[in-house]
Chain A
């Protein structure tokens, strides 16, 4: 397969909802994969909603919120693998013992569980970012 062929394959995926494409030709296997991207509009809507949430509830709610902190140093992941969906979504309910995220340390995936039933009010760390011991990860409003 020529470089040109690869380029046109990548071109093909643009402006589609396809996140993975596998082609086999004369013994050569090519797999093209990409992260699902939200269209720009969707992101700004999410941001607005999030800011509204924070602004409206800041004063009286902060004391009620529970901060989930990192029990170990490592890399923070919101999903079990790049293709999989996130463990928890902002604004949705979680149960006590439910996995919130993964912290990778020494190639080991450590699942971090929620200590309470509640609603995820804020995610404080971006996917793939390093975190240190004790770093705040989530704010959860207990139910």
Chain B
């Protein structure tokens, strides 16, 4: 068995740089693709070759399947790593790679399709004995059916888009009249955002924690989990801070949630790296939420506590190598926290693209920064607002918190607004320091409410 000679990275920004690093350490040549406004991006400099594949608009560049496959063809790339976002969860792309004879570094098209159908995934998990939040069996066919389910499980309920993600097509209904009002709103939103208006109903759990489990599955049927990440610090379902382990959890909890994750991966006939997301209620009840069939933004916190290079594992799995890691060898050592530094106004979370006039990255013991930013670079308005990920690792949570605090003080970005002040504020919150928080934390902390916010 052989590793690939050359991999094309179908992404940009920090994740493209992250993947190139893994390839270099594995002695694999790399091809960067870029849109014409990304000509001076770091990923095009770090890669061995680079190909301009289209104009700024991602529909014509980073989401343009024919152009990306052609770029792979003319550069003789054997495999494509999709990163996260863009085409990473597009089952048509995985299928197109397969038919073009190029290895897609990720799960099969079928697993991706199932991961994208949240209502169906819920149904399958329920049958496999993985607990799901009480709600509809699959999607609801009508408003009447939604109401019937809501009455059975009790209000408040949450309406979610079957093809959804990122908080769109999601509405919380506290009573019957609200369900009446929100059903069509959520449906319309889902249809507009995902081209699919199918909804499902779940009991709304107010003080929930978002806990997810990283899994690795090879093509021989071996599956291991790399422990959990807590991603409860969110704003409008967008994660801002992630950590591993989840504060206050026990080995017993980890074992249970890990077993559920492996059960879910088996039901998905999963291979490569994936993440199973769970809702944890205030009583410690664990419920399957959804499966993300790609590399996650927050994968470095798991890398920090386990010592496993997830991207290298992805590449080796895609090349057909069996997992060397056994479940008994997986140990979470110390504590890791990641802050997403976005080009956003920290008060109102409005995007703040522009030129970085001065940049100084933090360093020192236990500090990792994943970024594609440099002095004088431009953060374009066309793409994701993520500028950098600051990841710290400490012996325990309190050392990690202290490191994070001083690293945030060292982090200087001038020319654009970033979420650094927001993270500093979170670190001064006594509940966060104690590890006592849930997904309602950011709202409770007193972020000024905008007109859209509920």
In the docked arrangement, what's the CA distance between A74 and B53, Å? 9
20 contacts between A and B (CB under 8 A): A72-B66, A72-B67, A73-B51, A73-B52, A73-B70, A73-B71, A73-B74, A74-B70, A75-B74, A105-B70, A106-B69, A106-B70, A130-B51, A132-B52, A132-B71, A133-B53, A133-B61, A133-B67, A134-B36, A135-B52
The yes or no answer to B54 lying at the interface (CB within 8 A) is: yes
Q: Which residues from B are CB-within-8-Å of A72?
A: 54, 66-67, 70
Q: Which 6 A-B pairs have the closest CB atoms?
A: A130-B74, A132-B52, A105-B70, A106-B66, A133-B52, A73-B53
Task: Return B237 CB to nearest CB of chain A, in Å.
Answer: 34
The yes or no answer to B167 lying at the interface (CB within 8 A) is: no
The yes or no answer to B55 lying at the interface (CB within 8 A) is: yes
Q: Which residues from A are CB-within-8-Å of B74?
A: 73-75, 130
The yes or no answer to A108 lying at the interface (CB within 8 A) is: yes
Q: Which residues from A are CB-within-8-Å of B61?
A: 133
Q: Which residues from A are CB-within-8-Å of B55?
A: 133
Besides the contacts A74-B70, A132-B53, A133-B61, what 11 more A-B pairs have beta carbons closer than 8 Å?
Answer: A73-B54, A73-B71, A75-B70, A106-B70, A130-B74, A130-B75, A132-B71, A133-B35, A133-B52, A133-B55, A134-B36
Q: Which residues from B are CB-within-8-Å of A132?
A: 51-53, 71
In the docked arrangement, what's the CA distance between A106 and B70, Å? 6
Which B residues between 42 and 69 are near A, CB-CB below 8 angstroms? 51-55, 61, 66-67, 69
In the docked arrangement, what's the CA distance between A132 and B34, Å? 10
In the docked arrangement, what's the CA distance between A72 and B36, Å? 12
A134 with B52: CB separation less than 8 A? yes
Q: Which residues from A are CB-within-8-Å of B70?
A: 72-75, 105-106
A73 with B67: CB separation less than 8 A? yes
Q: Which residues from B are CB-within-8-Å of A135?
A: 52
In the docked arrangement, what's the CA distance between A74 and B35, Å? 15
In the docked arrangement, what's the CA distance between A130 and B67, Å? 12
In the docked arrangement, what's the CA distance between A105 and B52, Å? 14
Task: Return B136 CB to nearest CB of chain A, in Å.
Answer: 41
In the docked arrangement, what's the CA distance between A74 and B64, Å? 13
Task: Return B87 CB to nearest CB of chain A, in Å.
Answer: 15
Task: Return A76 CB to nearest CB of chain B, in Å.
Answer: 10
Q: Which residues from B are CB-within-8-Å of A106?
A: 66, 69-70
Q: Which residues from A are CB-within-8-Å of B54?
A: 72-73, 133
> Which B-chain residue is minimally distant from A105 (CB atoms)?
B70
Q: Which residues from B are CB-within-8-Å of A74?
A: 70, 74
Task: Return B47 CB to nearest CB of chain A, in Å.
Answer: 13
Q: Which residues from A are CB-within-8-Å of B36?
A: 133-134
Q: Which residues from A are CB-within-8-Å of B66?
A: 72, 105-106, 108
Task: Return B382 CB to nearest CB of chain A, in Å.
Answer: 15
Task: Return B58 CB to nearest CB of chain A, in Å.
Answer: 13
Task: Return B230 CB to nearest CB of chain A, in Å.
Answer: 42
Task: Return B388 CB to nearest CB of chain A, in Å.
Answer: 28
Q: Which residues from A are CB-within-8-Å of B52?
A: 73, 132-135
Which A residues between 104 and 125 are near B, CB-CB below 8 angstroms? 105-106, 108
In the docked arrangement, what's the CA distance between A133 and B74, Å? 13
Task: Return A26 CB to nearest CB of chain B, in Å.
Answer: 37
In the docked arrangement, what's the CA distance between A135 and B53, Å? 10
In the docked arrangement, what's the CA distance between A108 and B36, Å? 23
In the docked arrangement, what's the CA distance between A79 and B70, Å? 20
Which A residues between 22 and 73 are near B, CB-CB below 8 angstroms? 72-73
> Which B-chain residue is minimally distant from A108 (CB atoms)?
B66
In the docked arrangement, what's the CA distance between A72 and B55, Å? 9
Task: Return B59 CB to nearest CB of chain A, in Å.
Answer: 13
Which B residues between 87 and 131 are near A, CB-CB below 8 angstroms? none
Q: Which residues from A are CB-within-8-Å of B75?
A: 130
Q: Which residues from B are CB-within-8-Å of A108?
A: 66
Task: Return A67 CB to nearest CB of chain B, in Å.
Answer: 14
> Which A-chain residue is minimally distant from B75 (CB atoms)?
A130
Task: Return B65 CB to nearest CB of chain A, in Å.
Answer: 8
In the docked arrangement, what's the CA distance between A106 and B67, Å? 8
In the docked arrangement, what's the CA distance between A40 and B70, Å? 35
Task: Return A73 CB to nearest CB of chain B, in Å.
Answer: 5
